[in-house]
Structure 1
Amino acid sequence: MIEVYIDGASAGNPGPSGAGIFIKGHGSAEKYSIPLGIMSNHEAEFHSFLKALEICLEKNYLVVSFRTDSELVNRAIEKEFVKNKQFSPLLIKALTLTKQLNLFFMKWIPSSENKSADELARQAIRKNGLEEEATHE
């Protein structure tokens, strides 16, 4: 099974944002640091999940276990519902992508266990051209 650690971060809320994705499995590790432009921290969390799902599907990783420190994303996927309608299109897209996987799990983990993805997300913010300290949920 492939393990995927995801994190989104933004410097400001909203502000320059980034996605950090750390994938391990089959004896190797992959790291992705993806600038996302200007968005809120919650949006960045959702977009990091979407980018990770897209990467998994592109690479034909169809049995995956995701780890996130975002309670919002974890709860939204678990309940297939978000209170804030702004996130509904992101949730719908995420659920559509998860259905293309053979086996999908998501687990909430504390930030202390998500350091690799967090650092990648912070690097992605800097790729947006801003060196400010990232705020993180």
Structure 2
Amino acid sequence: MNKLYTDAATKGNIGLGGIGILIIAEGHQDQTHLPLAEMSNHQAEFEAAIAGFKRLLALGLTGPVTFYSDSKLVIEALDKSYAKHYGDYVTELVTLTKQFPLVLWQWLPDHKNRGAHMLAQQGLHEAEAAAQ
């Protein structure tokens, strides 16, 4: 089963951000970090999850997935297919998950999501450098 870890980092609750995506599949790792424009931390967490599932598809990894996030909002949104104020993000995320035969999701505490966290920090640094 493919494993997808995502995280987001923002400078302030609304500020520049970055996302980190760590995929472990077939004994290999794929690490991606991307800068984000100004947005809230919650928006950035949804952006990270969406980008993670898109990355799986781009890599041709269309088998079962276990998705890990330290965002309770994102995990609860998947549980309920709903999140107040984030409907567009939830719709896109749920649509992406339907492209896989099986998707399990699990909340992780911050300290167990270090790989994706470090990548998100790199994305944030890239966003800050581009803004200067």
TM tier, shorter chain? over 0.9
Runs of 4+ more than 6 Å apart: none
CA distance in 1 between partners of 2:83 and 2:42 (Å): 12
Establish whether residue 73 from structure 1 lines up as the match of residue 84 from structure 2: no
What does 1:95-134 correspond to in 2, within 5 Å? 95-130=94-129
Identity of aligned residues (%): 34
The answer on 1:90 being equivalent to 2:89 is: yes
- SS of the residue corresponding to residue 55 of structure 1 reads helix
Aligned residue for 1:2?
A: 2
Alignment of 1:17-28 (within 5 A): 17-28=17-28
Q: Which structure 1 residue ranges, 5 or more long, are not aligned? A: 131-137
For structure 2, which runs of at least 5 residues remain unmatched after alignment? none
Aligned 8 A contact 1:20 1:34 in 2: yes
CA contact (8 A) 1:8 1:18 kept: yes
Q: After TM superposition, give the deviation of residue 69 of structure 1 in Å.
A: 0.5
Distance 1:121 1:92 in 2: 23
CA-based RMSD of the aligned residues comes to 0.9
Instruction: Count matched residues.
Output: 128
Q: Residue by residue, what CA displacement relative to the aligned partner does 1:20-69 show, whole Å, maximum 9, x if unpaired?
A: 01111211111111111111100000000000010111222121111000
* Separation of aligned partners in 1, 2:100 and 2:9: 26
Scaled by the length of structure 2, the TM-score of the pair is 0.93
Amino acid at match of 1:118: H
